[in-house]
Amino acid sequence: MIGYDAATAASYAPWDATDASVGRVVRVDRGVASVLAEDGLHRASWGGAVLARAARDPEQAPCAGDWCVLRSWPDHRVTLEHLLPRRTSVTRATAGKQSAAQVICANVDMVGLVVALHPLPAETKIERLLALAWQSGAEPVVLLTKADLVSDAAEVAADVRRIAPEVEVLPLSVVTGEGLERLRARVDGHRTLALVGTSGHGKSSLTNALVGAEVLRTREIRDDGRGRHTSVRRELVPLPGGGAVIDTPGLRSVGLLAADSGLRRTFADVEELAARCRFDDCAHGDEPGCAVVAALADGTLSVRRWESWRRLQRESASGAARQDARVRAATARQQRSRRGRSRPDPDRRSQDRNL
């Protein structure tokens, strides 16, 4: 099984039983997961404990890439009984009133940030995706797609490398095949690569090209050139040369949520500057000895990058606060329902009296 390592085997060991097996989630549709196990693909509904955990905390719902414990029942049903601990997880903030975390995929080794070269990508958007990727615990790689549509792919890639010096930046095209061999080599026959990005940038096309077959439906771009939000799939696809790719659904927006460590990696240069300010609690305004203000003044730090860092910091902090509030509310709900259950049932008591 792709990516099954010693640590996963060790966390499965206590669950091993004659009616149990370990598998990897390749896809989830409303309470049913497709799970690849040693003996093939299973459709597994979620067991009671998994359902209860997911209701309490949406981050605990199974997602593509998860390792899980399957149970086979005498009537041939298969249930997903338990999720094994995640090694890495790509998590974003979901929009809307019920703001919460959504785990996009788990246990991936690399997060491919899929950003089209045409129209020209915004650096701020790449920084946002980088923070999400670093936060996941996996290694980011920037995949600049649709290289066949532009003549300056190498220059744009060089610009992106300047804001992401630690990360491989790869121009790609499914039309000319540019970059595909290099990306296959990075998967190296055993790693799992997740493709993450906003809708229409070419994730499904890239997955198809890597797999070499039409496994996922690629949707046509609308006449006005804007992306449509059509995809609901989320699939882990084994690659012919080994390893796997997870094509995540095209997101309209990628909200950051408690992405402290991801932001530190993405903006290492800014963090380093801020650490050199004279005062530990420098707000980088008009304090004397502010290294950030000095760097902005002499141009070593661009105003664009500084503002991008500040915006993402704020977003990450408010996402964390919302998440805390949600977890507190869920815990309180659960405690109330437990107390409710343990209290004697008034109807029962009146029945008892009547006996």
Ligand X SMILES: Nc1nc2c(ncn2[C@@H]2O[C@H](COP(=O)(O)OP(=O)(O)OP(=O)(O)O)[C@@H](O)[C@H]2O)c(=O)[nH]1
Please report, as ranges, the residues that interact with ligand X according to CB under 6 A.
Answer: 145-146, 148-149, 173-175, 199-205, 218-221, 227, 231, 249-250
147 annotated to bind ligand: yes
Cβ–Cβ < 8 Å for 224, 194: no
148 annotated to bind ligand: yes
Smallest distance, ligand X to C-beta of residue 27, A:
15
Cβ–Cβ < 8 Å for 93, 48: no
Cβ–Cβ < 8 Å for 62, 33: yes
145 annotated to bind ligand: yes
Q: Choose which of 254, 292, 295, 312 interacts with Zn ion (CB under 5 A).
A: 292
Whether the link from the prior residue into 119 is cis, omega within 30° of 0, is: yes
Closest to 112 measured CA to CA, from 195, 207, 223, 221: 195
Residue placing its CB nearer to Zn ion in the complex, 10 or 275: 275
Residues paired with residue 264 on neighbouring β-strands, in sequence order: none
Residue placing its CB nearer to ligand X in the complex, 218 or 318: 218
Question: What is the total count of residues that contact Zn ion (CB under 5 A)?
Answer: 5
The option from Zn ion, ligand X, none interacting with 174 (CB < 5 to 8 A, set by class) reads ligand X
125 annotated to bind ligand: no
Residue placing its CB nearer to ligand X in the complex, 148 or 260: 148
Give a three-class secondary structure readout of 241-304. CCCEEEECCCECCCECCCCHHHHHHHCHHHHHHHHCCCCCCCCCCCCCCCHHHHHHHHCCCCHH
Closest to 136 measured CA to CA, from 29, 32, 259, 1: 259
Residue placing its CB nearer to ligand X in the complex, 42 or 203: 203
277 annotated to bind ligand: yes
What residues line the site for Zn ion (CB under 5 A)? 277, 282, 284, 290, 292
| Binding site as annotated, residues | 145-148, 197-205, 277, 282, 284, 290
| Binding site as annotated, residues for Zn(2+) | 277, 282, 284, 290
